[in-house]
Chains A and B, each alone.
Chain A
């Protein structure tokens, strides 16, 4: 038997301490000591009452219904699994460096096949950020940067976002959308556009292969933020309104999650099936990929944010370059064209940015910001 702590034989005139009483109840005391304590309890209503109360604690705890895992936590986990698999696949394809990265994350052994996370991993410390959904945890991005961060996803860019939020409260009354000023300053570089199902585009940037593009540098997109954005960019044609935004946003997130779950993590296919452009795609003249069509003129029908570079630039503009969007919808807001970007909120819930569809690094075209409770 291995019980903790040395025991002090109780002085007959005093109560045994609580640990002794507890260990008596657990039947882990040595026999002679148990006899002493038992004899005391038989004579002491106070100690007997304490033990009775302790026993009732178990009954009380057993009656507590277990909390169910919130849906958003499960979604987050599944996204993390998806990203981890992609990372590992990319790492395996990349060769030797990947092995080092995975092992470094776990800090265990020298062979990934023999690492057991069930063993004590607490001392490694660097497992904290493993797989957390941050931009730096990209296909070939620096895992060290992501892994070193132990803060919450939603708080990583909190200062920048907060400042921007404050600014928007001051500006939005007199700051019109910059749709008219739009200029196609960004072009899609080193990008793969995946159209998934009807009305959604899964944007994924393969970075690290050719370095940061000139365009991304010019648009103020930092290398640190140069990682895949996995949120599907949808065009639901919803007309969002402030009053109904919580419901609408949750519907959008559900739709986004469904699309993401259905999207194959492997080789992306380039296929035009956008609801805004279904007519064009089905016309005899519609040929080539959505990528080619949109990169030739990304301003068509306000579809700029389908470009991964443009979306990233927009995230920079709203101070969310370190945050992975949960959903993006090129839709309408209060009757006007807008892009709705849903981010994980500080302390739970969702931060919803409504911006002009030409949102870009130097001009977010912010229309509104709303925090929606989950």
Chain B
């Protein structure tokens, strides 16, 4: 039982395996918003997110016996959802890439660098390499610990830290470029080596790096 006197996640999964037709639905309802947020932020598209969630949760429903109990049920569910979301992204890669001229990122001429719109953030997220994006979503948007994220992604914690930090740096560059016209100081340095904004903005969403 959890603190609310409700069956905990493991109990619900066990009940589902025992044939309780409502247990899995209860489990999904309990975590629906977090699972939805992860799918939506990973795919960047509500329809893809819904499809990915359906793929993922049907797999989980049918493959619940494969849950080994070595991680939290939510960790397992997140992993399933992320895998399905990444599958969905790969399938749509035949679609045209996000425009490279940055017009999706709302161009502003005011000086309010802090007023970065949600759209900007979503578009910037979509431009991140897939591994960085997923790590950033889990750690910075879902506020998961590095350790749990490492479990979900099945990578070392150092890799999660590196991916998140690189993602934040890339986001900072992208949001700075489109959010304000603030010049980057120290212009006598080698800009292409330093900022690499062009590189970030020309990546297709969902494209991976050689991680």
Asked if A171 is at the interface (CB within 8 A of a chain B CB), the reply is no
Identify the interface centre among A53, A118, A347: most chain B CB within 10 Å of its CB: A118
A9 at the interface (CB under 8 A from B): no
Q: Is the CB of A80 within 8 A of B186?
A: no
> Is A183 engaged at the interface, CB distance under 8 Å to the other chain?
no
| Cβ contact within 8 Å between A131 and B166 | no
> Which among A5, A46, A51, A62 is the interface contact of B186 at CB below 8 angstroms?
A46
> In residues 72-111 of chain B, which contact A (Cβ within 8 Å)?
76-77, 79-80, 83-84, 86-87, 90-91
> Distance in Å from the Cβ of A160 to the closest Cβ of chain B?
20
**Which chain A positions have C-beta within 8 A of B46?**
70, 348
Establish whether residues B166 and A28, one from each chain, have CB atoms under 8 Å apart when the complex forms: no
- Interface residues as binary, B1-43 with A (CB distance below 8 Å gives 1, 0 otherwise): 0000000000000000000010011001100111111001000
Given contacts A61-B141, A130-B59, contact A121 B84 (CB under 8 A): yes
- Chain A residues whose CB sits within 8 angstroms of the CB of B79 once the complex forms: 118
- Which residues on the B side are within 8 Å of A46 (C-beta)? 184-186, 189, 194
Check A300 for interface membership: any CB of B closer than 8 A: no
Per-position binary interface string of chain A over residues 52-82, scored 1 when its CB falls under 8 Å from any chain B CB and 0 otherwise: 0111111011101011111001101110110
Considering only CB atoms, which chain A residue lies closest to B184 in the complex? A46
Chain A interface, number of residues (Cβ within 8 angstroms): 76
Given contacts A46-B185, A106-B62, A112-B63, contact A28 B158 (CB under 8 A): yes
A56's contact among B49, B172, B211, by CB below 8 Å, is which? B172
Q: How far is the CB of A140 from chain B (nearest CB, A)?
A: 17
Q: Are B175 and A57 touching (Cβ within 8 A)?
A: yes
Interface size on B, residues (CB 8 A): 80
Report whether A84 and B173 are in contact in the complex, using a CB–CB cutoff of 8 Å.
no
Q: Is the CB of B61 within 8 A of A81?
A: yes
A371: Cβ under 8 A from any B Cβ: no
Judge whether A122 is part of the interface by a CB distance below 8 angstroms.
yes
Contact of B54 among A77, A117, A119 (CB under 8 A): A77
Hey, what's the 0/1 contact readout for A78-122 against B, CB within 8 Å counting as 1? 101100110010000000000000100110100011111111111
Interface string of B135-163 (1 = CB under 8 A from A): 01000111100000000000110110111
**Closest residue of A by beta carbon distance from B54:** A80
Closest CB-CB distance, A152 to chain B, in whole Å? 6
Flag if A347 contacts B47 (CB, 8 Å).
yes
B62 touches A88 (CB 8 A): yes
**How far is it, in angstroms, between the C-alpha of A1 and the C-alpha of B61 when the chains are bound?**
35
Which chain B residues border A62 with CB–CB below 8 Å? 140-141, 143
A105 proximity list for chain B (CB < 8 A): 62
Q: Are B171 and A54 in touch, CB under 8 angstroms? A: yes
B158: chain A residues at CB < 8 Å are 1-3, 26, 28
Partner of A127, one of B50, B59, B121: B59
A10-18, A233-241, A312-320 - the one binding chain B? A10-18
Question: Are A106 and B63 in contact, CB atoms less than 8 angstroms apart?
Answer: yes
Contact A115 B168, beta carbon cutoff 8 Å: no
Distance to closest chain B CB from A37 (angstroms): 12
B66, A119: Cβ atoms under 8 Å? yes
Given contacts A1-B158, A15-B186, 7 further A-B contacts (CB under 8 A): A2-B156, A45-B185, A46-B185, A46-B189, A53-B175, A66-B142, A69-B36
Query: Which 6 residue pairs of A and B lie closest in terms of their CB atoms, listed nearest first?
Result: A116-B66, A131-B58, A117-B59, A69-B36, A26-B165, A46-B186
6 residue pairs A–B, Cβ–Cβ below 8 Å: A25-B168, A26-B158, A44-B186, A46-B194, A69-B33, A108-B66
Binding site for A on B (CB under 8 A): 21, 24-25, 28-29, 32-37, 40, 46-47, 49-51, 53-63, 65-68, 76-77, 79-80, 83-84, 86-87, 90-91, 116, 118, 121, 136, 140-143, 155-156, 158-159, 161-166, 168-173, 175-176, 184-186, 189-190, 193-196, 209-211
